[in-house]
Structure 1
Amino acid sequence: MRSVGVEEEFLLVDPESGAPQAVAETVLAQAEDAHGLEKELQQEQLEVATRPTTTMDELSAEIRARRGAASEQARAAGVAIAALATSPLPVDPSLSAGRRYRRVANEFGLTAQEQLTCGCHVHVGVDSDEEGVAVLDRIRPWLATLTALSANSPFWQGHESGYSSYRSLVWGRWPSAGPVETFGSPERYHAQVTAMLATDTLLDEGMLYFDARLSHRYPTVEVRVADVCLDVADAVLVAALARALVETEARAWRAGEPPSPATVGVLRLASWRAAKSGVQGQLVHPLTWKPKPAEAVCEVLVEHVREALADTGDLAMVQQAMGDLLERGGGAGTQREILAGTGDLRSVVAHAAARTLAPEGDVKG
């Protein structure tokens, strides 16, 4: 069974006003054991990483434990964590200290200054670079659906953005972000990385912001398209689907099945549509490339990875979690519902902060 782990980024917010607070360095400095807690680009956010696990029960417990530890450290600094992929309230972000972050700010200007976004990155174990690149080539059509399922950023700087995952649009400003072409071999993948770094546009390999990539730190495929999820159950769902995709496409590669010929242009349109609609509108079907209701596309994804989900015992959990998410409208739907009921974006943040740590039923699988 393949290992899976997640990295989640959270906003640090004032418990009363809901405004993001630039206190990440304070939070980390006071932590006696900062294992799993890291700073990010802006001081208004914090990253939390789980250990690798092999079951979804373990992953759910890890996510809850890491969120709890981050919340405890944040509370000691007078703030709360909120699983929001963008801030609903206006904010002027504060760049984190460090030479690398200064270089990012100097090189990328407003793209860096305005980049207060929180994602969820899923790491899935692979046996080799050869298997990893084969997987990257074959999962491309399905990644936009993961964006839609995780969409949790409808508001930006105090306004309705018109998107369910506005984080995806803001993230797309980076020069290396988005879908990529097929590589065909590890040699071609690494040659592409070398060529991109040789342009002197990116600071280092860490700035290769492909939708999915080979991790430069771990023996994993890193799927990077998801917003941070409001609910733990949604994060587990995205991770379970990401692992099933990796396993499904590794099996396809071993069986000699070629990757989809989908072009980067079409993949970009599918990604944009996923960011726009979330799970409450039309998505681009990953096999026909025609518009279909989000629920139908999500069902096609589950069917595509059904065998891998069944083999890990995750199928029933994924079906239940998917149904629950579609009924709620995901994180974006929840945020909009809170605003409609209260008329106050501060209430959206307060609800998110509470829900980030809300107890839920056990995730089976």
Structure 2
Amino acid sequence: MVERLYADVSAGTGMRPGRGGAWFAAMGLAGAVHLTTVALVAGSVWLLITGTIMTRIVGVIGLAVAYLVRPRLGRFESDEWALTRTEAPHLYALADRVAAELGVRPVDLIRVTPEFNASFGRAGLRRRSVLTIGLALWELLTPQARIALLGHEFGHAVNGDARRGLWLRSASGALTQWYVLTRPSSASRGSFLSNPIADVVFTVLLIVPHLIAALALSLLHRFTLRDGQRAEYQADELSARVASPAAARSALDTTMLGQSVETSLQRQAAARRNRRAGSTEGDDLALWQELREYIASIPETERVRRFRLSALHMTSVDTTHPPTHLRAQLVATREARPAAVTVTEQEMAVVEGELTKVRARAARAILTAG
């Protein structure tokens, strides 16, 4: 299926959001999940009002379960990784230029974390946008490849990916909670009833709802997989339009180096523990320089070998993304054209200056966590 979708996208026939049977099935399944939550709340309230003491206890338990599986909007809040527009005006200005090119409203919050990743989402009742940039990836990209990364993430705001909508996303979260709550081992472990007999009782009572939750999660993933992968390809197309196909390919190639990044960071963390010495901000920032040097030292032949291995094993960022080598091949086939958004080394240097404190904080988190 992935190869067929790739062929359709390459030919320009697979870029429109699909609204076929699988999409309607996913929406219907999500509706059933939400109705289950509503029914659980209604039934629990009814037991509390009209029931006996025992049934009221059941009603309280039902409300507690309903609270745990409730739709979550996500919390829009500033944490240690959040940067305000006052703290990073040039980074926000750069992000706004990319967003404007794609017809996306300016981002509400940018978070810069230690991870080898990047993401875009919405949170809170007002559905405010949050862009998350992982420094372990950002630090390895050229200035124009960073534009490509921003283009891909903002592309998710306009590519019609139903998985990112509140309806499906909250249903998936509720099913995940059901799956965890009904796992027999987790339900009995650590409780005062934890003994062989209690384990058997919990297993018998919970095995059926646990299997239903697992099946529903699997079906929801299957129903939305093609539409989600199409959305990833379209985000790559938008990335190539904003930053140029070459920059988009460069960014995708870098995502294949995750294992090397992890190796470098773990080695540096181990060396820091062995020294057992206090660190300064300069020492922390040296982590990123060493990471860049380590990745730059990987020869081209090794990079080609890893690309071929990625193609052989159909490696992807996660189970929701198409294989990375197909995404890289797609943008490489696009006609070379000038980037819609460009950035100079001097402009990027100013952005880097705004990230100094959070870069030191992220490096310290990596080195202390190991």
State the TM-score, normalized to the length of structure 1.
0.24
Task: Compare the two structures and name the one with the higher helix fraction.
Answer: 2
| TM-score normalised according to structure 2 size | 0.23
The structure with more radius of gyration: 2
